[in-house]
Structure 1
């Protein structure tokens, strides 16, 4: 299992709209081949900063399958207007789990 971590800076004052857009886009992630769940975290210290964490079976399920899908286009159409900058995305693999 791979976790995509996207750090997203939202235009200040548009946090609630962004959260609503992510909630609306959630079904597109969950319907995507290889997606095993989604979490959205908001920074306490920097309230316009979020981390979207998506669990994928493989990196390719995110970078090829999902990014090439209509669901990805719909996600970006919903949430993209609230981005203050392009998201910073990386993929991690768990090396220590309880």
Structure 2
């Protein structure tokens, strides 16, 4: 299993709209091959900051299967305009 992690900084004042839109976008990613689960966490200390965690079967499921799909274009259209700056996405695997 691979864990995708991204810290999302949302443009000031757009968090409520982002959360609603993310609810729509979640349907897209959860339908993709290799998707296991997703968690979107809201920061307690910073109102417009979120932590996105997505579990994938393989890194290829995320980077090729999802990111190179037509579904990703819709994900991008729905969400990418909320980010400032654009998030850095990293992948992790269990050590033990």
Report the Cα distance in structure 1 between the residues aligned to 2:91 and 2:47, rounded to whole angstroms: 23
User: Larger deviation: 45-54 or 8-17?
Assistant: 45-54
**How far does residue 6 in structure 1 lie from its aligned partner after superposition?**
1.1
Match of 1:58 in 2: 58
Match of 1:94 in 2: 94
Structure 1 unpaired stretches of 5+: none
**How far does residue 27 in structure 1 lie from its aligned partner after superposition?**
1.1
Match of 1:21 in 2: 21
Structure 2 unpaired stretches of 5+: none
Normalization by structure 2: what TM-score?
A: 0.93
**Runs of 4+ off more than 2 Å:** none
Match of 2:4 in 1: 4
Match of 1:67 in 2: 67
1:33-65 per-residue CA deviation (whole Å, 9 max, x = no partner) reads: 100111101111112111111110011111111
**How far does residue 94 in structure 1 lie from its aligned partner after superposition?**
2.5
State the Cα RMSD in Å: 1.1
